[in-house]
Amino acid sequence: SLSRRGAATWLATGLTIEESQISLSRDVKRLRRHPTDIQLLRVAQLRDKLQTRITSFLKMVPAYLGFEVDDNDLDSPVDNIHDSPEDYSDIDDPDHHPDPETHDTSIFQPELTIIPLPSNLGMARCKALDLMDLMKEEITLCEGQANDALHAIRVHLGDKAVIFRNTVQSAKSQASSTRAWTQVCLVETAMNLNARIYSQCRLQLAKLPDHDLLEKYLPLKKEHLKASAAVADPNAHGQRDATLAWFWYIDVQGDTSGDDWMTECKYPPHPVI
């Protein structure tokens, strides 16, 4: 129905907002103890843009949840514990160690806002508000989100392996080696973001009922995100018995293709800010 499709679109918007929060939180964390004015300005602009999206999302809450949520008081109707996905930061920047004294003094931090999705409302409140159907739709969308993130991670790992084989190892000078490693870092940054999005998706699924998806979507560990020759060329000599991470053996493209209303909820490329 049109109402169901509208709800699916609204839920998908909430999930992409959470992806943007993950991306912005990472950017803030990577600020040094004394960030430049340009860095601070960029973060401020991203926060303004994110807050605009959150405010727009909250305006539709009464239509789908049956109650109003004020963006200045989001903790009251939802769980006040903001789960944090695993940090893969040392993967995309192995030489960066955030200063323990680095603090973000801004009071305006929309990246920490809890988005009032069914998974964040909790089972008891969703039952009381008759939102169990909405929970089921969030499960399907989370499955699609997990598939998208894992597909992106596999692509990034393949790119990284090829760069190592074709560019890093063949670099003939310091300048060419530096350029090659810059390419590797760019790929790892994108992969890190998708890994955090996938980790957040698992946290959401853990709060949603009546599914066994956590048996399929296993925890993503840092060692799973290391490129290998088997990724670049699984048919190469000596790679027949190489063990790939679990996510190489699942279908991340066909699992949700049969859901008719999923077609309107295609996630935009990451990052979505």
Over its length of 273 residues, how does the chain's per-residue pLDDT go in tens digits?
546 679 999 999 999 999 999 999 999 998 878 899 999 999 999 999 999 999 999 999 999 998 887 655 454 444 444 555 666 765 445 444 445 444 456 778 999 999 999 999 999 999 999 999 999 999 999 999 999 999 999 999 999 888 878 877 777 788 878 888 888 899 999 999 999 999 999 999 999 999 999 999 999 999 999 876 656 555 555 444 457 899 999 988 755 444 443 444 444 444 333
pLDDT at 25: 94
pLDDT at 161: 87
pLDDT at 162: 87
CA-based R_g, the chain, Å: 20
114: tokens are: 């809890």
pLDDT at 255: 56
What backbone torsions phi and psi does residue 220 show, to the nearest 5 degrees? Answer: -100, 120
pLDDT at 83: 59
pLDDT at 47: 97
The model's pTM? 0.79
The conformation of residue 236, written as its DSSP 8-state character, comes to S
pLDDT at 251: 85
Cβ atoms of 185 and 92 within 8 Å: the answer is yes
pLDDT at 176: 79
Cβ atoms of 122 and 79 within 8 Å: the answer is yes
Cβ atoms of 99 and 116 within 8 Å: the answer is no
- Mapping DSSP to helix (H, G, I), strand (E, B) and coil, where does residue 208 land? coil
66: left (phi over 0), alpha (psi -120 to 50) or beta: left
